[in-house]
A and B are shown apart, each in its own frame.
Chain A
């Protein structure tokens, strides 16, 4: 007797837990691989999944086995010309005696690296593992303007479309039971009496009594009927309440210096940084807008293509960009509705008199409205005046202002991580 079962529709992901255990165990290796990929990949596929390679010795499961040496005999098939007593050199790699399981991986290639793929989601998980948006919670509810309706039990009042039928009928049923209990009990007792009387020999007296009792029952039954099936106060309504939810919208300002001193490679590094920030924000907010502001002596809002690829030269006045950003915030992105992030990249070069103005604009107009302002200086030289000016700001706006320096592409990811590393609660 055989049973034939179609299992194809059963869940396929039986190994998911085991796979996660595996990833968890080799987290460090995977993180390294991810970091590598982030630094070396072309910008457009920075967030694709990727290959992770782990040295095979790190994931081997040791068992006792025979090592090389000693005496062994092994039987082989397909003899062609050997006769007893033939002697020949040991083949290289000690294969002849056959240490057996030693090097054999089942695909027949003695690989010493174990390579596997992780998908995009996992890739991003590892990429942003341990990072968080700073002070997210604190700001989240302060200016909440969005609400979400959630269920919150039942009430006795409400509009008809919210009637909960099952609850209402249950309540009615309970009320009916409660109100009629006494009468029904009485009816039962009376009918029992009638039964008893009927068992006696029929005589006028008992039949009279029976009639009387029947009348009484009839009366009670009428009383029962008067109890309504459904009463007003039986009706229950679904209760919905409004709960403020944090804004799920974010806007990200990319501010970049495009003056003559910014070479293509510096811009490239800036772009990588912006993309990382964008991917990171995308994981936290449902809706993201990106505003590109570039500046030399004048600031201008541009589209992405122009932002990264058009070339201009000129001096540098950083404050122009900050002014423009501040205007845009005022016009389009009210801090009540939007989570505002600003990332500024520059080589640190600024016109001498302008830096103090920059910090003034930041201090007065911008930092009180944004969630986070990150400044990265991409330079190999010493810090310039803008950096020194910003340093003063840092002590005042410690919670939403951060600055870091990037010297070479390999720094980008570590710098990004250090900007968004999970911080202890203390600072708030």
Chain B
């Protein structure tokens, strides 16, 4: 290919250069078959970046003190030089909004454009989780609706009442998602239209459930059936639909928090893949630019410097170690898949007979579209990469005095390490599995939640406080039981607390 003049040579950027880089990177991305939403690239200042940090990365959000806390903290740390800000933030919306920091050099802007505007963007558009759980074209409208609605509520019912409610909802945010049932995508227009109807309907529906008019009594042996019949994993949903004392506007706010949680749910589940995909593509795209002579060697050196620091994995005994770096794992896995396709070894053919030697673009595209972190690792983590990263598993059993190494990067350990690592990214294992188990419909209206224990791990110490939040939403007594798989209750929490200590002890 004919070498062309580099687009830029210095560190300073201009809007024209950004446009030109974007054009070239976009062209190459298309050649590689990346399917993206249109891009909206916004250049912002560091202060605006901190604003964006504080509203969980969204361009607008409702007001809450916790965002203020986040902002104050970021601001403080940044000012003292304790942390740098991200080079970019990218939002899963259509058009896909990417924020570029003013302070970045030209190289960094190009890196960010390749990473966010083509890497993350295509992931948002292609991955099945994002497709099912989020509607990229509606999120901004929905957030605007939410912000206005909550402001309206604050005017009508007071800032304090709304703040309390949001506090409680935020405590349960991770339990506002349906993990198994596929949700309706949310759209702002419909939301607005249906909101009124929903308010009325719910209120009427509830009255049925909590009807106090006695039914014919004889023969009606108190049924032992529970309500809900099957445990409900989406606690916020259950509260929105069934909490006896909430006002319609409160239900709507519970719903808003739930919808926002749902929007972010896929991001939690695809961190490794998403970052890996974006890193892989910025690497590939910028190398292609270099190949074509569009960037200088100096550009590449600067780019590689920041690339390597992003995908660096400190070993477990390093003071910088802070868990497995999702960028490293994801990027290396993506590169590894490409390697298996392009240049498979005997081992690869044995482990990955279906992809070894296949077209790498198609294989990667398939992987990006159809997996989440957990299944992606289980499917694609190769023995070679396990060796390279020197992965090993430690078993920590609280009943034993010592930790034990259960598997390492050797022939007999590959599968186990891979399974362990995959399980580590299973949200179901990371967050306690707590579900609505029963409501005492005929009695004191108390709500019972069950914590189905995973590997006998107990709940953390803030559980009591979360329970108080649930109590605020539910309005009547709330109980929480930790249960072992065989059904024995190991520990129970109550709000308001039950004073007869003897009883709870006997449960243990």
Interface centre among B44, B83, B394, by most chain A C-beta atoms within 10 angstroms, is B394
> Do the beta carbons of B431 and A82 come within 8 Å of each other?
no
> Do the beta carbons of A15 and B54 come within 8 Å of each other?
yes
Chain B residues lying within 8 Å of A10, measured Cβ to Cβ, are 44, 48
A2 to chain B: closest residue by CB: B39
Chain A residues lying within 8 Å of B38, measured Cβ to Cβ, are 1-3
Stretch of A107-115, A131-139, A199-207, A235-243 lying at the B interface = A107-115
Name the contact of B458 in the complex, choosing from A14, A62, A69, A86 (C-beta under 8 A): A69
> Do the beta carbons of A63 and B171 come within 8 Å of each other?
yes
> Do the beta carbons of A3 and B41 come within 8 Å of each other?
yes
The reply to whether the CB of B421 lies closer than 8 angstroms to some CB of chain A is yes
User: Could you tell me the distance in whole angstroms from the C-beta of A148 to the nearest C-beta in chain B?
Assistant: 33
User: Could you tell me the distance in whole angstroms from the C-beta of A162 to the nearest C-beta in chain B?
Assistant: 40
Contact residue range for chain B? Answer: 35 or more
Stretch of B133-141, B213-221, B313-321 lying at the A interface = B313-321
Query: Given A78-B313, A87-B404, A73–B44 Cβ distance below 8 Å?
Result: no
User: Could you tell me the distance in whole angstroms from the C-beta of B382 to the nearest C-beta in chain A?
Assistant: 15
Query: Given A18-B63, A19-B72, A87-B402, A78–B315 Cβ distance below 8 Å?
Result: yes
> Do the beta carbons of A63 and B174 come within 8 Å of each other?
yes
Chain B residues lying within 8 Å of A107, measured Cβ to Cβ, are 77, 82-83
> Do the beta carbons of B71 and A15 come within 8 Å of each other?
yes
> Do the beta carbons of B22 and A7 come within 8 Å of each other?
no
> Do the beta carbons of B421 and A62 come within 8 Å of each other?
no
Chain B residues lying within 8 Å of A161, measured Cβ to Cβ, are none
User: Could you tell me the distance in whole angstroms from the C-beta of A4 to the nearest C-beta in chain B?
Assistant: 5
> Do the beta carbons of A15 and B459 come within 8 Å of each other?
no
A86 to chain B: closest residue by CB: B405
Q: How far is it, in angstroms, between the C-alpha of A61 and the C-alpha of B171 when the chains are bound?
A: 7
> Do the beta carbons of A64 and B395 come within 8 Å of each other?
no
Chain A residues lying within 8 Å of B315, measured Cβ to Cβ, are 77-78, 80
The reply to whether the CB of A244 lies closer than 8 angstroms to some CB of chain B is no
> Do the beta carbons of B394 and A74 come within 8 Å of each other?
yes
User: Could you tell me the distance in whole angstroms from the C-beta of A60 to the nearest C-beta in chain B?
Assistant: 7
The reply to whether the CB of A90 lies closer than 8 angstroms to some CB of chain B is yes
The reply to whether the CB of A305 lies closer than 8 angstroms to some CB of chain B is no
Q: How far is it, in angstroms, between the C-alpha of A2 and the C-alpha of B26 when the chains are bound?
A: 9
The reply to whether the CB of A84 lies closer than 8 angstroms to some CB of chain B is yes
Q: How far is it, in angstroms, between the C-alpha of A233 and the C-alpha of B412 when the chains are bound?
A: 104
> Do the beta carbons of B408 and A84 come within 8 Å of each other?
yes
> Do the beta carbons of A62 and B469 come within 8 Å of each other?
yes
Q: How far is it, in angstroms, between the C-alpha of A48 and the C-alpha of B26 when the chains are bound?
A: 51
Question: Using an 8 Å CB-CB cutoff, how does the interface string of B299-326 with A read, 1 for contact, 0 for none?
Answer: 0000000000000011111100011100
Q: How far is it, in angstroms, between the C-alpha of A12 and the C-alpha of B102 when the chains are bound?
A: 14
Question: Using an 8 Å CB-CB cutoff, how does the interface string of A1-39 with B read, 1 for contact, 0 for none?
Answer: 111111110101111011111111100000000000000
Name the contact of A72 in the complex, choosing from B69, B396, B434 (C-beta under 8 A): B396
From 252 to 276 in chain A, residues with beta carbon under 8 angstroms from any chain B beta carbon are: none
Interface centre among A5, A15, A108, by most chain B C-beta atoms within 10 angstroms, is A15
Query: Given A12-B51, A15-B71, A78-B314, A62–B42 Cβ distance below 8 Å?
Result: no
Name the contact of A98 in the complex, choosing from B82, B102, B323, B390 (C-beta under 8 A): B323
A-B contact pairs, 21 of them (CB 8 A): A1-B38, A2-B117, A8-B102, A12-B48, A15-B68, A21-B64, A21-B65, A62-B171, A67-B457, A69-B457, A70-B454, A73-B423, A74-B420, A77-B315, A78-B314, A84-B407, A84-B410, A84-B412, A85-B404, A86-B405, A96-B396
Enumerate chain B interface residues (CB-CB to A < 8 A).
Answer: 15, 18-19, 22-23, 26, 38-45, 47-48, 50-51, 54-55, 63-69, 71-73, 75-77, 82-83, 95, 99, 102, 117, 159, 163, 167, 170-171, 173-175, 313-318, 322-324, 328, 389-398, 401-410, 412-413, 417, 420-421, 423-424, 430-432, 434, 451, 453-463, 465-466, 469
